[in-house]
Amino acid sequence: MQKAKISENGFSIVELLVVLVIIGVLAAVSGFYFTAHQKLYKPDEQALKIVDMFQEARQRALTQRESMRIELDTTDNIARLIDENSPATANDDREIRRFNLFEINEVRILRRADNIAYNPPEPLPVANAVFMPSVYPSSSPNNVCTIRFQSNGTVLNGGNDAIGTGSTITGLTLHVWSPNENAPNDATIARAISIIGSSGSLRLWEYDKNSSETNKWQDTRRSGGYGQ
C-alpha cells in the first residue's frame, strides 16, 4: 500500500527574514515621506492658526465691544488671545486661549526671510511686524509682537504701558516661513499675513518662488485657500 504524502506547510527562516526586511524597508521609506510631508506643511499650519486667532480677536472686539489683544511671544513660543475688559486697568485682562508656536528651527515669524525682498502687494504699504520687549504683565519682558483689535474695527500696536497708553493705529505684515537647512536665513516655504490697521481686515498670502510674475506673493483667495 502506498503511503500518503504528508504536506509540509509554513515558511522557512530565510523566507521569514526576507519578509521582515521588506517590511522594515517599507516602514523606513514611509516614515521618511511622512516626516518630510509634515515639515512641508508646518508654515501653513502655523499661519492658519494665527489667522484663526486674528479672526477671532477681530470678531470678539466687534461683537463684545471690547479690546482684544494678541501676543505673539517668541520667548515662550506661545500665541495668546486676551480680552482686555476695562481699557483703564490691566488687572482684569483675561486670557481666552493660546497655542504653541513651532520652534524657530522649524518655522520663523520674527522677520522676513533674506531671500524674499518685498512684502505682499497691498494697495497701501504695510510694514513688517515689530517684535519688542512686552509691557504687558502676561508676557513681560518677553520678545513679543502685540496687536490690539478695537471695537471700532481698527488695529493698534501695544503702546507704552500695560493699558496701551500711546498706542497708535497700525497695520502689519507677519512673515511665516520655514528656514533652509543650508542657509537658515533663507526660506524654503513662505507665507505672510497682512492686517490693515484702519479696518482690521486681513489676508493670507503664499510666496510662489516659481511664479513668473514680478511680485511672487499670491493672495490665497485666488487659489481657493484661506483668506478674507
**Over its length of 228 residues, how does the chain's per-residue pLDDT go in tens digits?**
555 554 555 567 777 777 777 777 776 665 544 444 455 689 999 999 999 999 999 999 999 999 999 999 999 999 999 999 988 888 999 999 999 999 999 999 999 999 999 999 998 889 999 999 999 999 999 999 999 999 999 999 999 999 999 999 999 999 999 999 999 999 999 999 999 999 999 999 999 988 888 899 999 864 333 433
> 81-109: string of b/e by CB count within 10 Å (b at 16+)?
bbbbeeeeebeebeeeebeebbeeeebbb
- Cβ-in-10-Å burial (0-12, 13-18, 19+) of 26 comes to exposed
Q: 124 vs 34, 109, 112, 119, 134, CA distance in Å?
A: 40, 22, 18, 11, 28
Cβ(194)–Cβ(171) under 8 Å?
A: yes
Tallying the residues shown for the chain, one arrives at 228
Distances, alpha carbon 30 to alpha carbons 20, 24, 37, 149, in Å: 15, 10, 10, 44
64: nearest Cα among 157, 124, 144, 150: 150
Cβ within 8 Å of residue 140, ≥6 positions away: 133, 134
What does the block give as the cell for 204? 493670507
Show the DSSP H helices in the chain as ranges.
13-64
Name the grid cell of 192: 505672510
